[in-house]
Amino acid sequence: MSKLASAIVVVMLLGISAHAQMAHRLKGAARTTAGAPIANAAIHAENLSGFRGEPFAGNKDHKVASNEKGEWNITGIEAGLWLFSTSSPDTIPAVLVMPVKFSQRQQVSAVGNSLTWQLPMWAYPASEHPMLKATVDLLNQGKKDEAAQALTVVLGPDVPL
């Protein structure tokens, strides 16, 4: 192999290695439906699949807590289909499933990228929806049949569960 070809291979391998080590950061905010920040909300990001449905090879679970302004960030997110959830006392847990694609990023430093948008997580105060809160509590206790009955009260009898 010529010296030029060897140099090209080395440069390509270094580029692949540098890309594999790049950490992507996703920012977000946990807020009530009225817009008030939720401090110490538990934020969970779980990968469901790679971006095109292929198996995902990276870190599939990230857990962080929001700060006093409701803001949070997760480092280590890779492209794929993600389930984001937030929970805190006296709120109904919020869940959002969305694809994350890193062509929507901007360079922020030599070691990583950050998505250019914020991911809002809106949580309903439990006092506004007591039957939904009761449903969540029943699910957390493993009482699926009772939770389904409570949800029927909330949604009405014509909604299939």
In 50-157, DSSP assigns E strands to 61-65, 71-75, 80-87, 91-92, 94-100, 105-109, 112-125
Q: Which of 21-30, 31-40, 119-128, 144-153 has the lowest mean pLDDT?
A: 21-30
Mean pLDDT value across the chain: 75
pLDDT at residue 20, rounded to an integer:
45
pTM over 0.85: no
Phi-psi region of 69 (alpha: psi -120 to 50; beta: other; left: phi over 0): alpha
> What would the mean pLDDT of 27-45 be, rounded to a whole number?
90
- pLDDT band (50, 70, 90) for residue 12: very low
Instruction: Enumerate the H helices of the chain as residue ranges.
Output: 3-20, 130-140, 144-155
Q: How many CB atoms lie within 10 A of CB 128?
A: 13
**What residue segments make up the domains of the chain, in order of their start?**
23-125, 129-161
- pLDDT band (50, 70, 90) for residue 159: low
Rounded to 10 deg, the angle between the 130-140 and 144-155 helix axes is 160
Residue 78: name the closest of 23, 36, 31 by CA: 23
Domain 23-125 has CATH 2.60.130.10: yes
The answer, yes or no, to whether residue 153 has pLDDT greater than 50, is yes
- pLDDT band (50, 70, 90) for residue 155: confident
